[in-house]
């Protein structure tokens, strides 16, 4: 047993040493640099995630929040070993992964990538665990998911950065969702600092949508630096076939970001309207007109899927390169972007003086949703008398929100869980999970009844019941006091929890549950109104207009 332990210890030390050999990437002004030698870093990237983007050139942000299976590409050691030589042939120094499983191990793949000089940009979300544009919320479950990914990846020197969202707002009808993404960026930046991790940037990947592209760029960069993105990824597919710098609009986008004060890069590019793709835009992206503004880009996509964006086809252990592969490899091999050394570079760009004004074209206030605080939600839920039953169904939770928020003489019963990203008004418990939020609403209605009616006021056709409420003490008492009796106060205390899952690279693992208090919190489709900001407010209004009454009592 001692011999086995010594072998494991030696292997761990070897992995840590290998991970430490690669020079971390840091941000200074609008550029990326190798931390130790100060050389400017340009992304020569490839998106790397199999069977993940069904809608073509970018990952989807559907209205459904049901869990979806996905394959974590950097936990699959054999696939990493198979694919890294091909990534090297492409001159790749960065891969983008759209979803990782923080409960799995990543040491072997991340070490192999580091040995190959390849860095990773990781999205923090996953199917079923993301901010949905049609029904946005930033709650304690999502906080734990995003923090878990950071826990799993922060220990690797070749983790370049994280995306707090991908194309969440994609037209002028859903820009309010950007407030929730910006809150996630703010909180994950704070979490990295709180955990004393190496400074790793948190950014956002936006689509190239003409109606909102200017406002999106400004919104995520404006205001307090603690809330602003550290970098912006731009998903763009406008250079198709034998296009040009001006015909593609690359010149206009370069002009748009000429004064931007954080790094910008193409988070996805590679139009496939003309095939094979010859990637002539590579010469422009890494040429003298664009390199003063852009830090390279990430081609979509390594794997050939039904959307025909692949560079290779894979069958078991066999990789076959496609025509696109040869063209991209040749284009990347021929570039030689001009660069500046970090010591000689003095940033001069500044953040926008003001944020986009809320109006018909932009609906996201610069007052962001509160930081999810699981301690607060757990304290609140334990102090309730009337709560939903443990076996309550997803459909019943959605129905109960519509019912209870429409009962009584006003909507005050649900004021503590409503969120309005346009007005910047948020209930203190609007970031709790659905079960906790429903408990708050049921209990508020229950307490509003006179003593004669209370016996039947916590029934709702058998969907709720009373529990023995805990009397808040200590920190719980303080948190609930900050939230206020109606749940409309501002909670300034910071969350103390961590991601509760995953392993910090090179240093072992830390398991744990990812659920909140009370019941494990399921997430539901866009018709559910479990406190998702505008949705709850809309349902409350509808309840009063239609004269909704106590149909479940």
CATH number at residue 540: 1.20.58.1040
What pLDDT was estimated at residue 438?
94
417 part of a folded domain: yes
Quickly state the pLDDT bin for 500 (edges 50, 70, 90): low
- The residue that leads in pLDDT, 68 or 273, is 273
The proportion of the chain whose per-residue pLDDT surpasses 70, expressed as a percent, equals: 82
What pLDDT was estimated at residue 178?
98
Same domain for 62 and 190: yes
Quickly state the pLDDT bin for 7 (edges 50, 70, 90): very low
Q: Is the pLDDT of residue 57 over 70?
A: no
Same domain for 122 and 171: yes
Query: Span 198-204, mean pLDDT?
Result: 98
What pLDDT was estimated at residue 504?
42
Cα gap 446→465, rounded to integer Å: 10
- The residue that leads in pLDDT, 26 or 65, is 26
Q: How many CB atoms lie within 10 A of CB 273?
A: 10
Task: List Cα–Cα distances, 460 to 406, 538, 550, in angstroms.
Answer: 13, 22, 8
pLDDT in tens, 320-343: 999 999 999 999 999 999 999 999
Same domain for 386 and 339: no
pLDDT in tens, 248-304: 999 999 999 999 999 999 999 999 999 999 999 999 999 999 999 999 999 999 999
Q: Is the pLDDT of residue 15 over 50?
A: no
Q: What domain range is 504 assigned to?
A: 374-545
Quickly state the pLDDT bin for 314 (edges 50, 70, 90): very high
251 part of a folded domain: yes
Instruction: Indicate the average pLDDT of the chain.
Output: 85
Same domain for 529 and 428: yes
What pLDDT was estimated at residue 283?
98
Q: Is the pLDDT of residue 3 over 70?
A: no
DSSP letters of 359-388? SSS----SSPPPPP-HHHHHHHHHT-SEEE
Q: Is the pLDDT of residue 524 over 80?
A: no
Task: List Cα–Cα distances, 20 to 84, 159, 160, 417, 497, in angstroms.
Answer: 19, 12, 14, 45, 28
Quickly state the pLDDT bin for 542 (edges 50, 70, 90): very low
Q: Choose the final residue of a domain: 328, 344, 360.
A: 344
What pLDDT was estimated at residue 396?
84
Cα gap 267→526, rounded to integer Å: 28
What pLDDT was estimated at residue 14?
45
Same domain for 384 and 314: no
Q: Is the pLDDT of residue 10 over 50?
A: no
- The residue that leads in pLDDT, 406 or 374, is 374
Query: Span 139-153, mean pLDDT?
Result: 96
Same domain for 64 and 196: yes
511 part of a folded domain: yes
Q: What is the DSSP letter of 126?
A: B
What pLDDT was estimated at residue 512?
30
Same domain for 320 and 194: yes
Number of domains making up the chain: 2
Active-site residue, selected from the candidate residues 50, 167, 227, 436 = 167
pLDDT in tens, 346-377: 999 999 989 999 999 999 999 999 999 999 99
Annotated catalytic residue 482: no
- CATH number for the domain harbouring residue 112: 3.20.20.80
Q: Choose the final residue of a domain: 344, 366, 392.
A: 344
Quickly state the pLDDT bin for 175 (edges 50, 70, 90): very high
Those residues with Cβ within 8 angstroms of residue 58's Cβ, 6 or more apart along the chain or in another chain: 166, 167, 207, 235, 268, 300
- Predicted TM-score (pTM) of this structure: 0.86
349 part of a folded domain: no
Cα gap 47→232, rounded to integer Å: 16
32 part of a folded domain: yes
Active-site residue, selected from the candidate residues 50, 227, 268, 436 = 268
436 part of a folded domain: yes
Cα gap 61→53, rounded to integer Å: 10
Quickly state the pLDDT bin for 495 (edges 50, 70, 90): confident
Residue with tokens 């939020």: 437
Q: Is the pLDDT of residue 76 over 70?
A: yes
551 part of a folded domain: no
76 part of a folded domain: yes
What pLDDT was estimated at residue 533?
36
Cα gap 142→516, rounded to integer Å: 10
Annotated catalytic residue 167: yes
């Amino acid at each position: 047993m001692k011999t086995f332990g010594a072998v494991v210890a030696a292997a761990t030390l070897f992995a840590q040493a290998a991970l430490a050999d690669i020079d971390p990437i840091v941000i200074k002004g609008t550029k990326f640099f190798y931390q130790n030698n100060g050389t400017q870093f340009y992304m020569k990237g490839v998106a790397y995630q199999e069977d993940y983007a069904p809608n073509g050139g970018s990952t989807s942000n559907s209205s459904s929040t049901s869990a979806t299976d996905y394959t974590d590409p950097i936990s699959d050691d054999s696939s990493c070993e198979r694919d890294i030589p091909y990534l090297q042939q492409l001159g790749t120094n960065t891969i983008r992964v759209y979803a990782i499983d923080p409960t799995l191990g990543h040491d072997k793949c991340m070490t192999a990538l580091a040995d190959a000089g390849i860095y990773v940009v990781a999205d923090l979300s996953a199917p079923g665990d993301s901010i949905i544009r049609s029904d946005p919320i930033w709650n304690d479950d999502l906080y734990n998911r995003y923090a878990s990914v950071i826990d799993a990846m922060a220990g690797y020197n070749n983790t370049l950065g994280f995306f707090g969202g991908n194309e969440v707002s994609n037209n002028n009808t859903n820009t309010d969702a950007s407030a929730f993404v910006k809150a996630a960026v703010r909180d994950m930046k704070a979490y990295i600092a709180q955990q004393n991790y190496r400074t790793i940037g948190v950014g956002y990947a936006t689509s190239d949508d003409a109606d909102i592209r200017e406002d999106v760029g400004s919104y995520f960069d404006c205001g307090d630096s603690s809330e602003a993105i550290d970098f912006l990824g731009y998903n763009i597919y406008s250079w198709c076939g034998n296009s040009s710098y001006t015909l593609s609009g690359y010149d206009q986008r370069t002009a748009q970001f000429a004064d931007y004060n954080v790094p910008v890069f193409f988070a996805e590019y590679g139009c496939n309207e003309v095939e094979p793709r010859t990637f002539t835009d590579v010469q422009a992206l890494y040429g003298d007109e664009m390199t003063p503004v852009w830090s390279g880009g990430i081609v979509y996509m390594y794997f050939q899927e039904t959307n025909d964006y692949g560079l290779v086809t894979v069958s078991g252990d066999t990789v076959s390169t496609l025509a696109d592969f040869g063209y991209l490899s040749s284009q990347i091999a021929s570039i030689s972007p001009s660069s500046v050394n970090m010591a000689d570079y003095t940033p001069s760009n500044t953040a926008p003086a003001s944020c986009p004004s809320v109006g018909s074209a932009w609906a996201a206030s610069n007052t962001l949703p509160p930081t999810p605080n699981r301690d607060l939600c757990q304290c609140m839920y334990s102090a309730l008398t009337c709560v939903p039953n443990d076996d309550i169904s997803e459909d019943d939770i959605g129905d109960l929100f519509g019912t209870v928020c429409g009962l009584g003489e006003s909507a005050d019963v649900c004021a503590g869980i409503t969120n309005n990203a346009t007005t910047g008004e948020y209930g203190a418990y609007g970031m709790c999970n659905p079960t906790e939020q429903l408990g708050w609403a049921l209990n508020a209605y229950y307490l509003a009844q006179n003593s004669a009616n209370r016996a039947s006021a916590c029934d709702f056709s058998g969907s709720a019941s009373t529990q023995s409420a805990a009397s808040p003490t200590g920190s719980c008492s303080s948190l609930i006091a900050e939230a206020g009796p109606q749940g409309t106060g501002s909670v300034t205390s910071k969350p103390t929890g961590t991601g509760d899952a995953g392993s910090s690279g090179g240093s072992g693992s830390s398991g744990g549950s990812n659920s909140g208090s009370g019941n494990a919190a399921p997430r539901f489709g866009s018709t559910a109104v479990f406190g998702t900001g505008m949705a709850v407010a809309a349902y409350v209004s509808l309840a009063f207009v239609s004269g909704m009454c106590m149909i479940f009592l």
